[in-house]
Amino acid sequence: MEVLKFQRDQVIAKKNDKVKYWYLIQEGSVIQKFDFSEVKLAKNSVIGMVERDIFLYDYVADEDTVLVSFVCENAADLKNILTGQEKIRNIFLRSAIEQRHQMLYLYSDLNTKSRQFHTFVGNLYNDYKTICAKYKIEEQGFLRLEHFKPLEMQHKAEAWEVNNSVSIVKNYLQEYLQLMEKDDSLTVGTIMEAAAQMRRFALGIGEMEAYLSYNKDILMNDSDNDLFQLFFDLSIKTYQKKYDIEPISKDVSLIVKMTEMLNIYNKRMVTRRFNEYKNYDYDNGASGGQAVRQDIDIKTEDCLGHILEYANYGDEEAENIINMIEAYQNLPDMFATSGDAYTLRKKLTPIFYDIYLKVFMRAVKDESSLTPILEMFLNFGFVDVALVGEENAEMLYELTAHLDICQSKNIYTIYRWLKSIYNGTREPSKSEFDMYYTDYLKEQKKNGEITQEQLLAYQQDQERKVEFEIRNMFTTVNKITYGRITTFCPMLNGNDLINSIDKMLLTAEKLENALNEVRKIDYSAFYREVVFSDPDKGINSERIMKEILPDIILMPNAGNRVVMWQETAGIKSDTPARIMFPIFTALDLDDLMLEAVGWFRWEMCRKVMGVRWNDVREKSLTAEFCDYLQFYRKNHDLSTEAKEKIKGSLVRAKNDYRNVFIKDYVSWVKFESKGSFRLNKVSRDILIRYCPFCKAIRDELKSNPVYQNAISKFDVENAKKLQRYNGVYDKYEKAGGEITADLKRNLLFFQM
């Protein structure tokens, strides 16, 4: 138990951090932040109760706050906390009941808003069509409503749960608490049951927030392509026909009231749009800034022509490209590995990247010129409706309004990734020849292709950096993530979209969930040693463990492979890895993520060990695994059957030791963590030492003779390291040093 103090607005826990402690709010209050909703946790509330392994939300101090931390990872820990602590028992129990009720209140509010929003939009559009028919005004198409459906919840709160919570909190709270405090089993069971319910409710809240965030632009948005504008235009046409626009004005006012009720819209934007409507001069046809952009019927658009025109191709060159793509589309088999199909793919591939570079360079300098068609091209590799199919084109068009669902702090669409390089927040990736941008320039200088002055200038040239990224990483990884190299063409093809767009799309939420599932089991996967120093306080160089999550980049294709392109962003080891996924895939994301993390494990070890990466005299993951595969035939710890399996694995992996390791790693996390044996004795022994399971899983497996000795040895070594760090920290604090968040997380690492 430790007392912690936080100032107002200080972050207590971040989303996706690992949960080791529960925090009791002793003084002050804390905001539990959802995407756009929040819950205020008052004194005696408990932070961490909702979560299991990973924090689902940010927790921020709402005022100066004092917390008491308790190690709590499971029901056994909770029982230890409560044993003999009557006051804490009552506080934890009351907090569980009241926090569950708070969560249900927010859940119910969002559930009502989600249903009302869908009903309101449907009724509003029916009003629009009715008025158009009444006044004989041609309807404007509104594509998004064709795909607008009511929310189908996966994580539901049942009506009886709501009623039960209301009855307990409003009528029988004291009696209920007195009953549930009577013994440990009742108390712990009630708290853990409430915690499990809160997790489900929280996930349901996330679903409803995502639904409203995704669809709110239908009603009103900053680009004016919405129902509000539909009624605005209708009022103009109605006035021109000398009809009363009052019914339309009522609907417009209802739209504004709905935005206020939902409370998820930018208020300045709503006010601006409403003022434009109120102040519109119907006689002179002018307002303070009437919208000009309208939804288009993507099926009838010349998308390829639009892209080529934006890229500033001349008429003759553009016509040649269009003819080639039409010839490709008209082939009886676009995926043939020889003949015309092969020839056209070979010609079209460099043309695609040339178009991409031209479009990107213009777009990044003036994003106001971007249209949905260009966004489809830049993010998905879309070039033409005929190539992807009309239904897919419509869904891609709609998706451009919601590209934020494919992005987060560490997750990028390819367009956003290239923008980060252009803006200087990220450096270009290595080429397929393992060469960084600076090394590439030095090589050009060495070969006499550029001068020293040019080298210095090009090092700061952001456009050249982007071009390097497109010509190297982008062209190579796009092909690899697609998965079928011999039939690859960078233009998005409907034949590859074997499922619906929404099911194949890799969103930031899906990727983060998949990554977190691996981190829950292989807790140390992305931890690495970094140096902490504070010589004035007695620490010259102390190596601590720090978790550095990877950057994930979504390549514009419908593919079936993942690529761990580089284990760090540069020479420094404390920079994020770069992992690339196809933006659309029909494969199991959890399996792809496991493969990526296993790949990272191998390459990170190689980087750390340098030239000694396969020298068994220097113990490491790669060295021991290479030694095991190289000499498996002579290994007496392997049965004849195990040796035959290894031989088969090597044949399938074409003797690539890394690929054999990745397959074993997937089995290790997916099956062995659950006590289901898949590996042989030697491989298991290596993985248990270098890719250990989290403490909860180790505790479950410790009783199994197969794991017992290795886990016990690992836990003893961890305890020694923890003891040493505690000693170092004590001396550091006595010397006036502050135990920073990184130092605290280092201690936490050895308790996981």
Q: To which residue do tokens 């190689």 refer?
A: 606
H-helix or E-strand containing 533?
A: strand 527-534
Q: Is 283 in a helix, a strand, or coil? A: coil
List of long-range contacts for 299-306, beta carbons under 8 Å, 24+ apart: 299/385, 299/390, 299/393, 299/394, 301/373, 301/385, 303/373, 303/376, 303/377, 303/382, 303/383, 303/384, 303/385, 303/393, 304/383, 304/384, 306/371, 306/373, 306/374
The region that residue 270 occupies, defined by phi over 0 for left and psi between -120 and 50 for alpha, beta otherwise, is: alpha
Question: Is the pLDDT reported for residue 720 higher than 80?
Answer: yes
User: Is a pLDDT exceeding 90 seen at residue 519?
Assistant: yes
Across 15-19, 222-226, 331-335, 593-597, least confident range? 222-226
List pLDDT tens digits, range 85-103: 888 889 999 999 999 999 9
Percent share of the chain, pLDDT over 90: 84
In 3-state terms, what secondary structure has residue 307? helix
pLDDT beyond 80 at 172: yes
- What is the mean pLDDT of the segment spanning 464-469? 97
Q: What is the pLDDT of residue 507?
A: 96
From CA 158, how far away is CA 154, in angstroms rounded?
Answer: 12
Q: Which residues pair with 25 in a beta bridge?
A: 67
Q: In the prediction, which pLDDT does 143 show?
A: 80
pLDDT at 140: 86
- What pLDDT does residue 314 have? 92
pLDDT digits (tens, 9 = 90+) for 476-503: 999 999 999 999 999 999 999 999 999 9
- In DSSP terms, 69 is beta-bridged to 2, 23
pLDDT, tens digit (0-9, with 9 covering 90-100), for 24-74: 999 999 999 999 999 999 999 999 999 988 999 999 999 999 999 998 888
Q: Inform me whether the pLDDT recorded for 245 exceeds 90.
A: yes
Give the pLDDT of residue 73: 84
Tens digit of pLDDT for each residue in 399-425?
998 899 999 999 999 999 999 999 999
pLDDT of 147 = 80
> Does residue 288 surpass a pLDDT of 60?
no
pLDDT at 289: 37
Please state, in angstroms and rounded to a whole number, the distance separating the CA atoms of residues 749 and 20: 10
Mean pLDDT, rounded, for 265-294: 74
Q: Pick the range with the lowest mean pLDDT from 289-298, 453-462, 681-690, 706-715.
A: 289-298
Taking Cα atoms as reference points, which of 595, 582, 574 lies closest to residue 515? Answer: 595
pLDDT at 610 over 60: yes
Residue 7 tokens read as: 């100032």
pLDDT of 545 above 60 = yes
Residue range 120-137, pLDDT digits in tens? 999 999 999 999 999 999
Q: What pLDDT shows up at residue 598?
A: 98
SS3 content of the chain, % helix, strand, coil (to 5): 60, 10, 30
Q: d(Cα 470, Cα 468) in Å, to the nearest integer?
A: 6
For residue 145, the model assigns a pLDDT of 85
Structural domains in the chain plus CATH codes: 1-73 (2.60.120.10), 219-278 (no CATH), 298-500 (no CATH), 502-550+586-727 (no CATH)
**Residue 295: which pLDDT band, with cuts at 50, 70 and 90?**
low
- Mean pLDDT for the chain overall: 93
Burial of 291 (0-12, 13-18, 19+ CB in 10 A): middle
The pLDDT assigned to 290 comes to 38
pLDDT given for residue 669 in this prediction: 97
More confident residue, 292 or 355: 355
pLDDT value at 609 more than 70: yes
